Amino acid sequence: MPELPEIEIVKERLKEKIIGEIVKDVKLLKPYILKSVKPHYNKLLGKILNDVQRIGKWIIFSFDEDINLFYHPKLSGYLRLKEVISRDTSFIISFGKTNLLFNETGNKKISEIYIFEGKEDFFKLKKIGIDPLSQDFTKEYIKEKLKKEKRVLYRILIDQSIFPGIGRAYMNEILFEARLSPFKKGFEINDEEISRFYESIKNVLNNAIDEIKKIDEGIEFREKRDFLKIFGKECPFCSSEIKNVFLKDITIYYCPNCQTGGKIYKDRRFSLFLK
Ligand SMILES: [Zn+2]
């Protein structure tokens, strides 16, 4: 699934390519993708695209008269600027010379579009926290969110109502860079650790954006993440072997020396037998 850095790049490139364009046609080919009813998608006709923004993993297209289209690619949604549609295409906004295609591969059709007048209805519907790249994302915000939090850090960090845009890949890297145990509970984090956590979130995401920018000019969600350190064989800081543990629905990568005080975690699937 694309996460904040991949989506940020696509947003930037869409801004360069289609802002100021007028909507000439709109087609809903596969109704599953459109989750809102009012206003009708035909309301986009004749409107100018004024801005493209991002919050978390959502891309927001803002048109005249404050009509906004909110798009989430989920697992395998992707965008294309092309004249020709493909069998993956669910929704089309035509700007005349080029079409913005909302596509999705695979059988699981879960990518989403909402169209609203204004933005309030959307944010009432979806609980989305402060975007980690926004200026309002501060150490105080993290402290406030973590102080009563009984869940472990790896769960909190992928909660979109607190850290929107962060998913499994960057979660592992952020905790590693911050030298924090993924298994530590939110309320157990002290001020010094919050500082490390905050710096790591900013550094990991900004560094990823810089790395992905080097790849090409397209609007692909590039999930080539070989620049992430936690998915290597050994820790670049202490040369210990990086361990991983599979827990229900998520794989956690960590350096036992730098993050967990030497503690090794066992897969929950097998833990009954290993005890
Ligand atoms: Zn290490």
In order of start, what are the domains of the chain with their CATH numbers?
Answer: 4-125 (3.20.190.10), 139-274 (1.10.8.50)
For residue 31, report the distance from its CA to the centre of ligand 1, in Å.
49
For residue 241, report the distance from its CA to the centre of ligand 1, in Å.
8
For residue 256, report the distance from its CA to the centre of ligand 1, in Å.
7
For residue 236, report the distance from its CA to the centre of ligand 1, in Å.
7
For residue 175, report the distance from its CA to the centre of ligand 1, in Å.
12
Classify the complex by whether its ipTM is higher than 0.95, answering yes or no: yes
Alpha-carbon dihedral of residues 32, 33, 35, 40, nearest 10 degrees? -100
CB-based contacts of 77: which residues, under 8 Å, 6+ apart? 71, 102, 103, 104, 110, 111
Q: In 10 A of CB 146, how many CB atoms? A: 20
Sequence letter at residue 110: I
For residue 50, report the distance from its CA to the centre of ligand 1, in Å.
47
**β-pairing verdict for 243-247 and 112-117:** unpaired
- pLDDT value at position 46? 98
DSSP conformation class of 21:
P
Q: In 10 A of CB 157, how many CB atoms? A: 23
For residue 219, report the distance from its CA to the centre of ligand 1, in Å.
35
Q: In 10 A of CB 196, how many CB atoms? A: 15
Q: Do residues 75 and 223 make contact, with C-beta atoms less than 8 angstroms apart?
A: no
Block means of pLDDT (10 residues each) for the chain, 275 residues, are 95 96 98 96 98 98 98 95 91 95 92 98 96 98 97 97 97 98 97 98 97 85 89 94 92 96 82 45
Rounded Cα distance between 209 and 73, Å, is 18
For residue 251, report the distance from its CA to the centre of ligand 1, in Å.
18
Rounded Cα distance between 166 and 157, Å, is 7
For residue 208, report the distance from its CA to the centre of ligand 1, in Å.
20
